[in-house]
A and B are shown apart, each in its own frame.
Chain A
Amino acid sequence: MPGNTQKPNGNMVTFLLNGAEVQADPNWSLLEAIQFYGIDIPTLCHNEGLTPYGVCRLCVVEIENGTRAKLVISCMHPVTGGLKVRTHSNRVIKTRKMIMELLIARCPGSKKLQDMASRLELKEVRFEPLNDDCILCGLCVRMCDEQMAARAIGFAGRGADRYITTPFDINSEECRKCGACMYICPVCELRCQGPQAETTLCSGCINTEPVCAQNFDDAMCFMVPCLSCVKGPDDVK
């Protein structure tokens, strides 16, 4: 069970996950339950060793509780009984692609982001690339605080001017230069050198056939490559 040391205590709740009735511990987050049942959804600011932060929004899922369906981030949503969860509905995929497009426009130089964009089959970026070096996911801040107990870096400023820094923008005595923040950072790494590396989107990794059942709201198949019902790439929207 990722990021969860608690054993199920018997008080399991039942909810619908992509149409299948499943059980989960009410202490889990929705993301933990989804990962427990082996469904792969992209996450960026989530890390098993750190508290959920809910800023990257990539783990978005659609939940239905009663009559209305809404989009929530699964990493911070609790599991409750009677929930209807769809992890790969058209609405979710569209939202996820949009979020990825915004992230990649901000930091096109990150291999991790490029790989994730490829997995989401993102084919164009309509925004002007910023070539920034930070997506403000807060992984380094939480790493420094929770795992390294140094608390030497944090957020400063607000809104579009928010950035990560040491206290008073000067060299901090509290920083031990352990490098954990650089280790966990999804952006400060070498760029993917795909076939079209000069463009904002590298797309070098889109070489597997897409899974067709992702286009249905309540069902999924995990056959890769998808041979049963797809004849060619044109069959998949």
Chain B
Amino acid sequence: MTIDESKLDSIINEYKAELGSLIPILQDIQAEYNYLPQEAMEYVAKKLVIPEVQVFGVATFFKSFSLKPRGKQQIHVCMGTACHVRGSKNVLGELERKLGIKAGDTTPDGEYTLETVNCVGACAIGPVVVENEEYHGQMTPIKVEGLLNNR
């Protein structure tokens, strides 16, 4: 994959290439590419004059950063305590079966990424599935069908 350096430059210059702005820069890059390409991280390290390993450390520390390409649609299944006792495991299992992937993976056509999260702060309506920032409460394996309308 080739990286458009001018695009990265405009992101980095927005933050005046300061050291403390590493996380917002990585967030903007992820918004642009849907994930963090290695070449982009190397470029950021060079521009901010910090070790590559520091950029890598930050990128692997936060769960919201992905080093692998992600799908266009992102599905997060809440596995927190409240959702767990109300059967989020079955919801996740149904999603895995329907999409043919395991949690943390992306479908081969690059359409869906399935991930688990530990709490989305909506325990009252659990089990919760977040599809592209949209919260779906009281999920059941049957309701999964409606979520993935084109599958």
Q: Give the size category of A's interface with B.
A: 10 to 19
Chain A residues with CB under 8 Å of chain B are 145, 151-158, 165-168, 172, 174
Given contacts A168-B38, A168-B41, contact A154 B60 (CB under 8 A): no
B56, CB-defined interface residue at 8 Å: yes
- Which residues of chain B have C-beta atoms less than 8 A from A166's C-beta? 53
Give the chain A neighbours of B38 by CB distance below 8 A.
168
User: B115 contacts the other chain (Cβ, under 8 Å)?
Assistant: no
Query: Is the CB–CB distance between A167 and B52 below 8 Å?
Result: yes
Q: Report the minimum CB–CB distance from A145 to chain B (whole Å).
A: 8
Interfacial chain A residues near B41, Cβ < 8 Å: 167-168
Q: Is the CB of A156 within 8 A of B52?
A: no
Among A145, A154, A174, find the residue whose CB has the most chain B CB atoms closer than 10 A.
Answer: A154
**CB atoms of A167 and B53 under 8 A apart:** yes
Q: How far is the CA of A174 from the CA of B45 in the complex (A)?
A: 13
Residues of A within 8 A of B56 (CB): 154, 156, 165, 167-168
B interface bracket (residues with beta carbon within 8 Å of A): 10 to 19
A196 to B57, CA, bound (A): 40
B53, A151: Cβ atoms under 8 Å?
yes
Q: B55 contacts the other chain (Cβ, under 8 Å)?
A: yes
Partner among A153, A157, A158 whose Cβ is within 8 Å of the Cβ of B53:
A153
- Residues in chain B near residue A168, CB distance under 8 A: 38, 41, 52, 56
Of the listed residues B38, B45, B51, the one surrounded by the most CB atoms of chain A closer than 10 A to its CB is B51
A8 CB, min distance to chain B CBs, angstroms: 35
Given A165-B56, A167-B41, A167-B52, output 7 extra A-B contacts at Cβ < 8 Å.
A154-B53, A155-B57, A157-B61, A158-B62, A167-B42, A167-B53, A168-B56
**A156: which B residues are within 8 A, CB to CB?**
53, 56-57, 60-61
30 of the cross-chain contacts (CB-CB < 8 Å) are: A145-B51, A151-B54, A152-B51, A153-B53, A154-B51, A154-B53, A154-B54, A155-B57, A156-B53, A156-B56, A156-B57, A156-B60, A156-B61, A157-B60, A157-B61, A158-B60, A158-B62, A165-B53, A166-B53, A167-B42, A167-B45, A167-B51, A167-B52, A167-B53, A167-B55, A167-B56, A168-B38, A172-B52, A172-B53, A174-B52
B75-104 residues with Cβ-Cβ distance < 8 A to A are none
Which residues of B are found within 8 Å of A154, using beta-carbon distances?
Answer: 51, 53-54, 56-57
How many Å from the CB of A55 to the closest CB on chain B? 15
Residues of B within 8 A of A165 (CB): 53, 56
